[in-house]
């Protein structure tokens, strides 16, 4: 993969040089790259070649910068379309679908199941938060009911998950509301 491939997809000379350096320095891409000395009319020329099966990964790793979008919008759009398709292919290969955990190691199966449970709990908590009325409203029965539902949802979470939600609460809820809720 020398300048002609980079030119072929629409990279400028500067972008091409940057991509060649990335291929040489990046550990995974470097496994597929190799320098060759080619005889030409102008003398021997060094060319960086990339194995064909590394080209899709290389294309997926090209950064789409604001400068690229401004100077070469067609290239940026093609790369974005390709990279989104690559994301879908990778997700299909590595992200389990419902009930599709069995092709993964036991450790990964456990991680995926815990992640799904965390998402479900966050959705339940978000639903409860959406039902909260004005915290200053005077309805002690409703506050007690919501507090009990929230405590049930929190009881299913691990200590680390509760801690993460607690931290998020302190970052997102205004101080006067936190003080009022603590008094409840």
pLDDT per 10-residue tile (average), the chain, 184 residues: 73 89 93 88 88 92 93 92 91 70 73 80 76 58 69 73 65 52 47
Asked if residue 33 lies in contact with residue 48, where contact means CB atoms within 8 angstroms, the answer is yes
pLDDT for 122 equals 81
pLDDT score, position 184: 45
In terms of Cβ atoms closer than 10 Å to its own Cβ (0-12, 13-18, 19+), residue 15 is buried
| pLDDT score of 24 | 92
Tokens of residue 11, six digits: 């990279």
How far CA 31 is from CA of 21, 41, 43, 90, 135, in Å, comes to 13, 30, 28, 20, 59
pLDDT of residue 183: 45
CB atoms within 10 A of CB 36: 10
Q: Model's pTM, two decimal places?
A: 0.52
User: Which DSSP state fits 50?
Assistant: E
pLDDT for 178 equals 45
């Amino acid at each position: 993969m020398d300048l002609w491939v980079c030119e072929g997809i629409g990279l400028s000379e500067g972008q091409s040089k940057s991509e060649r350096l990335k291929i040489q320095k990046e550990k995974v891409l470097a496994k597929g790259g190799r320098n060759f000395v080619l005889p030409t009319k102008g003398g021997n020329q060094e060319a960086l070649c990339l194995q064909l099966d590394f080209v899709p990964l290389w294309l997926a790793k090209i950064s789409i910068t604001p400068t690229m979008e401004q100077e070469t919008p067609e290239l940026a759009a093609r790369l974005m379309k390709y990279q989104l398709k690559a994301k879908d292919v990778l997700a299909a290969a590595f992200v389990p679908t419902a009930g599709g955990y069995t092709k993964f190691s036991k450790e990964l199966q456990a991680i995926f199941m815990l992640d799904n449970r965390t998402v479900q709990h966050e959705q339940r908590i978000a639903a409860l938060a959406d039902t909260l009325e004005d915290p200053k409203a005077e309805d002690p029965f409703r506050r007690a009911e919501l507090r009990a539902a929230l405590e049930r949802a929190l009881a299913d979470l691990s200590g680390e998950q509760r801690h993460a939600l607690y931290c998020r609460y302190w970052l997102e809820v205004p101080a006067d509301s936190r003080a009022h809720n603590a008094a409840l």
